[in-house]
Amino acid sequence: MTDRPDLAAMIVPLSRALVDAELPVLREHDLSMWAYSVLLALDERPLRTQAALAESIGADKTRIIGVLDDLQRRGLIDRTPDPADRRARVLSLTAEGRRVRDSAQTGIRHKEERLLARLSVEDRRGFLRALRALAALPHEEITNA
């Protein structure tokens, strides 16, 4: 019955190693992992509230307030009043935030490409296709499977 290790037993060490590989790139850009996650999340579209952002990146909303303050102070994000609800803030990337995000992502992707180059072209395509499919599943579908 042990034709392969459990998925988590394979993915967790790989994930930790990938994070360790990303950290020097993020340090070069003066970004924490949470800050980078925020910049990636805001690329898709502006978000209406800090709570919505926190949920989208899997963070506690109180944890990211300091991250948002720092990103705004550095001119990487804007927090503007929501015209529909003046109590809420719309979060969006600035041009400088997009530049920093793109530069960090390019460095990270370069490291990923070196890792993926160890796979055949066919295995690489299959791995990325399967990873995208599994990553797109709702959390509940994975935990209740």
Of residues 51 and 13, the one with the higher pLDDT is 13
Is residue 142 domain-resident? no
pLDDT of residue 81: 86
Please give the tally of structural domains in the chain.
1
Is residue 103 domain-resident? yes
Is residue 125 domain-resident? no
Is residue 136 domain-resident? no
pTM for this entry: 0.86
Give the range of the structural domain holding residue 92, as residue numbers without chain letter: 7-119
pLDDT tier for residue 44 given thresholds of 50, 70 and 90:
low
Q: Domain with 89 in it: what CATH number?
A: 1.10.10.10
For 24-33, 82-91, 115-124, 130-139, which range has the lowest pLDDT when averaged over its residues?
A: 82-91
Is residue 138 domain-resident? no
Question: Is the Cα torsion angle 120, 123, 126, 129 positive or negative in sign?
Answer: negative
Kindly state the tokens that stand for 45.
């579209």
